[in-house]
Amino acid sequence: MNKSVKLSTKQLLVSLVLGASALSPITSAKAAGEAVTQQSASNGAHMSQKELEQRGRELHQALVDRFKTLMETNDLPVANGNSKDISDVVIPYIPVGMSFADTAILLRAAGLKLADMPPRPAIVGDPDYDRYSIFASITLRDRLFVKAVAAITVHPLEQGKTDATVGKVTCRLGVDSL
């Protein structure tokens, strides 16, 4: 479902007077019971450190909630097999056009571990190595013989730029067991 977020007259006036960053599209959409899309979450405004950290905490909870739901419905990916695409959980929190610097703050606030920030050195003999994306992961469960990890990849809008902005976000959930 790709439903746009409808703003009330009051919300629209607040956004016009104070700027789009005065509203939290994710919070507004959730309160209205509407689907949150990447388009509705992207308002192009720069967020403060505090706002990014709050959004990161919300992302963390959304990932945990999706994991719990998949466990309850027995819909987790097969252990040591394929991963499951859960990008729809992450996309509302990391919109297209967000800076990589802000994205890194948000991901760290969500508890994810980030690989070295791009651009990374090229690997000789591996032309397909992605030097310009952000790679991050979080362990959602690590018990006895089972480990579940969500891995997020943030691709830049334009390859090779040092001041990159988000172009595409993907998230895969994988389960490993001994």
- Give the model's pLDDT for residue 162: 64
Spatial contact of 137 and 152, defined as CB atoms under 8 Å apart = yes
Task: Kindly list the distances between the CA atom of residue 82 and the CA atoms of 91, 132, 149, in Å, as whole numbers in the listed order.
Answer: 21, 25, 12
The pLDDT score that the predictor gives to residue 49 is 93
Give the separation between CA 128 and CA 136, rounded to whole angstroms. 19
CA distance 61 to 9: 30
Tokens describing residue 61: 């909870």
Contact 63, 140 (CB under 8 A): yes
Q: What is the pTM of this model?
A: 0.70
Length of the chain: 178
Q: Which of 48, 56, 71, 66 is nearest to 108 (CA)?
A: 56
- Does the CA dihedral 34-32-88-139 come out positive or negative? negative
Residue located via tokens 């689907």: 35
- Residue 33: the pLDDT is 35
In this prediction, residue 45 carries a pLDDT of 60
Distance of CA 41 to the CA centre of its chain: 11
- Beta-bridge mates of residue 84: 173
pLDDT of residue 23: 36
Q: Which residues of the chain carry a pLDDT beneath 50?
A: 1-44
The predicted structure's pLDDT at residue 36: 37
| Rounded Cα distance, 133 and 114, in Å | 11
Q: Give me the residue label for tokens 């690997």.
A: 123
Number of separate helices (H) and strands (E) present in the chain: 6, 5
